[in-house]
Amino acid sequence: MVEKRAICLLSGGLDSCVSAAIAKKQDYSLYALTFEYGQQHQREVQSAQQIAESLQVQEHIVFPLDLKQFQGSSLVDDTQEIPDASSLDRIGVTIPSTYVPARNTIFLSIALALAEVKEADAIFIGVNEVDYSGYPDCRPEYIKAFQAMADLATKKAVEGKKTLIETPLLHLSKKEIIKKGVEVNAPYYFSWSCYRGEEQACGQCESCLLRLKGFQDAGVADPLIYQSYPDWYTQNK
């Protein structure tokens, strides 16, 4: 049997953890790719390493990317504070301040280069429309356009070999993602979602709320301990 290889974008967060575990379940040999781009949540890189190890990847590439030069997002700009998500209802209505310009485009481009070097058949990325929450580069039409561009971009493409952009979570809700992760044995214990990056997850930022809501809806216990929990979470426990 010919070995199938996949580049797995691994942020250390929950979605990319599930996405990589799905690739593993599909018998791909994994090459994990994590970007170190001056996140406030540096903690995520550590988590990515633990997830990579847990999934027994062939190689884990940590790629430094100096996006601090691109001020304007609170995820890379030290001078901005990460906002509290005051209510779940407001998530997804506007493009959040945690938006980093062209982030997925940059990440997928570098993954495409790596796919050529490692002779990988696919790139797995954990984008989904719920996480869209205003991020333009998490939409299905964006992914389709990236695939069309990738099909023309490389030596490999000229030779007629495709690099598939695989987005197994694209149409799933957080609840479905978490159920899927249980199915494929995703190492949730090592995943990290909090935007604030303290010792413990805050339980108050947009990312923590989406995660807690997902676990609650899926009827699965989140193995992480949070600093504090929203009322709706503890009341329904």
Chain residues in the site for its own copies (CB under 8 A): 61, 63-67, 69-72, 95, 99-106, 108-110, 112-114, 116-117, 136-137, 139, 141-142, 145-146, 148-155, 157-158
Cα–Cα distance list, 65 to 6, 34, 59 (Å) = 21, 10, 19
Nearer to its own copies, 102 or 221 (CB): 102
Question: Cβ of residue 151: shortest distance to its own copies, in angstroms?
Answer: 8
CA distances from 4 to 27, 63, 190, 208 (A): 7, 23, 26, 34
What phi, psi does 213 have (nearest 5°)? Answer: -60, -40
Kindly state the smallest distance separating residue 55's Cβ from its own copies, in Å: 20
**CA–CA separation, 127 and 138 (whole Å):** 5
Q: What is the largest CA-CA distance in the chain?
A: 58
**Toward its own copies, which CB reaches closer, 105 or 227?**
105
- Least distance in angstroms from the C-beta of 28 to its own copies: 20
In whole angstroms, what is the distance from residue 165 CA to residue 148 CA? 10
Give the nearer residue to its own copies in terms of CB position, either 150 or 210: 150
Q: Which is nearer to its own copies, 1 or 93 (CB)?
A: 93
CB of 81 to its own copies, least distance (A): 19
